[in-house]
Every structure is written in structure tokens, then in C-alpha cells.
Copies of this chain bind each other. A is one copy, B any other.
Amino acid sequence: MEQCKEGGAAKHEIVISDTSGRPPVSKDSVVDLEFGDPTMYESFWKGMGDRGTITIPSWQTISYFSDATNLCWFLEPEFAQEIRRLHNLVGNAVTEDRRIIVGTGSSQLLQAAVYALSPSDAPEPISVVSAVPYYSSYEPLMNHLRSGLFRWAGDACTFKGDSYIELVCSPRNPDGFLSQAVLKSDGGKTIHDLAYYWPQYTPITGPADHDIMIFTFSKSIGHAGSRIGWALVKDTAVARKMVKFLEISTIGVSKVSQIRAATILKVVSDSYENPIPGNQDKVFAFGRHLLANRWKKLREIVEASGIFSLPEFPSETCKFTGETAEILPGFAWLKCEKEGIEDCASFLRSHKIIARGGRFFGAEPKFVRVSMLDRDETFDLFIERLSSIR
């Protein structure tokens, strides 16, 4: 009987391994923390049991269209609703009078936003800038197709000119600081990349209220593999051009992923709005607790080493939790202070630690960015290996 059951199940189900993706680490492994792969959230979601599980029959989401009456016709209405609900709960972004645009992760939305803000009739591509240290993906995102509409122009702080698009990443990837636009000109535009503006990483100081704000499912609650991001956009014409970009490049965004994102954001909001006393089901609290622990360990090792240093952050009141909270970035922006070592990434690589070197962020090679979001086993091995460096 049991065999029949198993046979029947196997017939229609695809079995996905528990820890699909990167192989688990062993004592001798290279510790790869180059990417911000948010696998630390796996243990949280495992603890949630069947909450957030999706079941989708084969006849659903066949059409390209989610809502033909919406400007963003490929946006699942239930997902839009859960996005507004979550921002209202957390208080990290204004959603009133904003169009919601869904993208295949925030990278695609960054391109869509830059495309939408680029003048179509300019003789030269518009300059896209961001203050150093800037997110390492901005440059390839802007330059890989050698667009005649826009081009990467590097550090916003040294940029001269009135016509530009400034990418403002806050909290900033790689260094974690809350940041603001550095350029101010009537001809300039800004795009706010708020991937990390969530209460596990930073005190929420108030609802962000910018023209274009971009968020991602990946960093907010850990679901990178679903490739879902969203933008809150004030201007309808800009929103329409963003939709056009997404329409041309991928004819919309996976509806299956959107349904999953809606389901999971709903679980998150439910856990705060209808709390079960004593239940460990709050993802932001989980993230904050784990990151606080990791940052404590890392700061101890770094201090004891005498070789490295880390940024120091002020504490502020988080309006979401009501508590004083420090900044706990998803990345450690580690500086090698040891004399004679100019290239921190190479130095760490010789100790079998892979991190992304400062140059990718427009900064000195004395810096590296180390992901703080990996699985426990990887983080623990990183700490162990770092502590052995003399």
C-alpha cells in the first residue's frame, strides 16, 4: 500500500533536493561569500511548516495577462495588495498614489527605471551615477548592452553636469549606511534602491517617499530564487515606460512567482497583525536576532585580529519595533588594515575565503564585501577561518 502511494506520488511530482543550489560546506571548503545569497532565511521558513506553501493547479496562470485593465497588466492583483499591506505594516515606504510595477528581481526594475528616465531624443546617452562605494552590479547593468540611451558614469560625488540619473542605494550595498542623493539639479533624476530598507537590517526611521522606489522579495524576506522585485512609482508616464521595457524584454514577469510572493508576504503580514503569543514566526525579528548575533561574533574577531576593521554605525529608534536599533547590514564592508596588503580580496582568497573586492564598488582594494546572509554552517566556517588569520 505504502509503495503504491509513493509510486503514485512520484508519477506526478518533481522532487527538488532540500538544499538545492550550492553544495554544503565542509571543513576544507572554500568559503564563498561573494554573493548576497540569502540562504540564512531557509531555517526560518523551515520552521514555518506549511505556512506559505503554494499549490497551483496546471490550468492556472496560463495567460500572459494578470489584469488587462491595469497599466501594469502582468501584475497579479493579489500580489499588489500584499505589497501595499506589508509597506503599511512596516512603515518603510509610502504606497498611496503610487503605481506598483513588478519585475524579474530588482535588477530588471533598475534597468526599466533608467530606461524610463532616459531622454529618447538626446544626442548622447545620459549619465548614470551612484556615490562610492556603489553596488557592484550597477556598472554592468548599465553598460553591458552599450546603450545609446544611458551609460554608467561612476561616482556621483565627482560627477559634473546637470543631466544625470543618480542611483541611491539605502541602506547602501556594500557598506550598510543609510544614504541620500548627493546630487541636486533640476535636470537630474533619482532612483531609490531600497532593497535593504527592512527592519532586520536597519532602524526604520520613517516611510520613504521618493519618485521611484525599488524593493525585492530576495532581501526583504529571503526569497532570491523566485526572482521577484517591485517598484513604487509616482509618475504615471514613467510607470508606463517601465512597463513598456518589461513588456519588450520579458513580456512580463512569472505569475507563479508572483502568486508565491503574494502568499509569503501574506504570511509575514499575518504573523504581525494576528500574532500568536510565543510563536517564533516573525521574519524581521528572526533576521534581526540572527544578524545581531553574527555581527557580534564578527566584530569580536575583527577587533581581536588587529588586521581588519569594520564600519561603525549609530543607533536609532526603529519606528516599526519602537526599540533602539543598530544597523545590521546584510554585508560586512571589511577593510584590511595590515601593512603591505593592498588587495584584501586576494589576501582572503589565500585563506580560502571568497569576497568581492573593493574595486567592483568603485572603492579601494583594501576593502571587501562579505555576505552576512549565508547559511549558519558557511558563516561559522568564515568566522573560524577569519579568526585563524594572523
Nearest B residue to A150, CB-CB: B145
A140 within 8 A of B: yes
Interface size on A, residues (CB 8 A): 85
A1-40 at interface with B (beta carbon < 8 Å): 11-16, 20-23, 35, 37-39
Q: Is A160 an interface residue (CB 8 A)?
A: no
B147 A225 Cβ-Cβ under 8 A: no
Check if B254 sits within 8 Å of A66, measured CB to CB: no
Copies of this chain, count: 2
What residues of B have a CB within 8 angstroms of the CB of A327 in the complex?
none
Stretch from A161-169, A171-179, A232-240, A257-265 that touches the partner: A257-265
For the complex of A and B, 5 pairs with smallest distance between CB atoms: A52-B58, A146-B148, A21-B65, A45-B59, A61-B225
Q: Interface of A with B (CB < 8 Å)? A: 11-16, 20-23, 35, 37-39, 41-42, 44-46, 48, 50-69, 76, 78, 82, 104-105, 107-108, 111, 115, 137, 140-141, 144-149, 218, 222-228, 245, 248-257, 259-260, 262-264, 266-267, 270
Nearest chain-B residue to A137 (Cβ)?
A: B248
Asked if A254 and B256 sit within 8 Å, CB to CB, the answer is yes
B60 touching A16, Cβ below 8 Å: yes
Complex interface: chain B residues within 8 A of A149 (CB): 145-146
> Cα distance A254–B58 when bound, in Å?
17
* Least distance between A352 CB and chain B CB atoms (Å): 16
Given contacts A12-B53, A254-B226, contact A20 B67 (CB under 8 A): yes
Q: How far is the CB of A317 from chain B (nearest CB, A)?
A: 31
Q: Do A107 and B250 contact each other (CB < 8 Å), given the known contacts A58-B48, A63-B37, A225-B256?
A: yes
Q: Which chain B residue shows the least CB distance to A45?
A: B59
B residues within 8 A CB of A66? 20-21, 225
- Residue contact A21 to B68, C-beta cutoff 8 Å: yes
User: CA of A18 to CA of B312 in the docked complex: distance in angstroms?
Assistant: 52
Q: Which residues of the partner chain B approach A253 to less than 8 Å between Cβ atoms? A: 104, 227
User: Are B61 and A104 in contact (CB-based, < 8 A)?
Assistant: no
Partner of A148, one of B23, B148, B222: B148
Contact A254 B257 (CB under 8 A): yes
A288 → B minimal CB distance (Å): 18
CA distance A13 to B55 in the complex (A): 9
Q: Are B21 and A58 in contact (CB under 8 A)?
A: no
- In the assembled complex, 12 residue pairs joining A and B whose CB atoms fall closer than 8 Å, in A order, are A12-B52, A20-B61, A53-B55, A53-B56, A61-B225, A62-B223, A104-B254, A141-B249, A224-B251, A227-B250, A227-B252, A228-B254
* Residue from B12, B59, B147 within 8 A of A42 (CB atoms): B59
Cα separation A104 to B107 with both chains bound (whole Å): 14
Let me know if A144 and B245 touch, CB within 8 A.
yes
Name 16 extra pairs, CB < 8 A, besides A12-B266, A104-B250: A16-B259, A20-B61, A20-B63, A22-B63, A37-B65, A44-B59, A52-B57, A53-B57, A61-B223, A61-B226, A105-B250, A141-B249, A144-B249, A227-B255, A228-B254, A254-B256
A245 to B149, CA, bound (A): 18
Give the residues in chain B near A228, CB-CB below 8 Å: 254
When C-beta atoms are compared, the residue in chain B nearest to A374 turns out to be B63
Task: Identify the closest chain B residue to A109 (Cβ).
Answer: B250
Known: A14-B78, A65-B22, A256-B254. A248 touches B107 (CB 8 A): yes
Contact at A12–B62, with CB atoms within 8 Å? no
Q: Are A62 and B42 in contact (CB under 8 A)?
A: yes
A35 contact from B20, B35, B53, B64, Cβ within 8 A: B64
